[in-house]
Amino acid sequence: MKSFLAVALLGATVIGGPAFAQSAQPADRAAPAATSQPVDAKMALKGSWRASKLMGLNVYNEANEKLGDINELLVDKSGKIEAVVIGIGGFLGMGEHDIAVSMDKLKFVEVPIRTSASGTATTARDTTTGAAPTSAANRNTNDWVPDHAVMSGNKEQLKALPQFKYSDYN
């Protein structure tokens, strides 16, 4: 009987301890109301893109030839994007030629690239959430990421540019 009572008391302590330890916050320590944010923050940021979603974004030229993809965004101390590092060519990251270009060299497009033969999208954007890519027809127009970027030039011209190396800027 003593062991049963001890186990019951120990169980009540373990289960009820955190509940008893909680207390109401004083009014002066309560979280301040978010008065600087509008009621719907997503609507206030409509048209913005998530930097994390720009990573890996395909880059094409005006002839719809894939040049490479975005590997990195270089940001200055004020938060302004100074350069975009693009991996040109290569296969699965091997043999890529990284170049750094300013943001104004890229044009971001929210409409998928279409082939002249089928009229359907040829690009399938990878997601970081593991969800399957959605088609352009049922995709939200502001899903926080453009479909692809367009840049002037071809692979040979861009590979002729000086290679960007992170070690040069440490």
47, 110 in Cβ contact below 8 A? no
**What is residue 64's predicted lDDT score, i.e. its pLDDT?**
92
When pLDDT is cut at 50, 70 and 90, the band that residue 45 belongs to is confident
The answer, yes or no, to whether residue 128 has pLDDT greater than 60, is no
Per-residue pLDDT tens for 108-124?
998 888 755 544 444 44
pLDDT averaged over every residue in the chain: 73
End-to-end distance of the chain based on CA atoms, in angstroms?
70
SS3 105: helix
When pLDDT is cut at 50, 70 and 90, the band that residue 2 belongs to is low
79, 20 in Cβ contact below 8 A? no
Of 94 and 142, more confident: 94
SS3 125: coil
pTM of the model: 0.60
105, 81 in Cβ contact below 8 A? no
> What's the rounded Cα separation, in Å, for the pair 151 and 128?
24
Give Rg (Cα) of the chain.
26
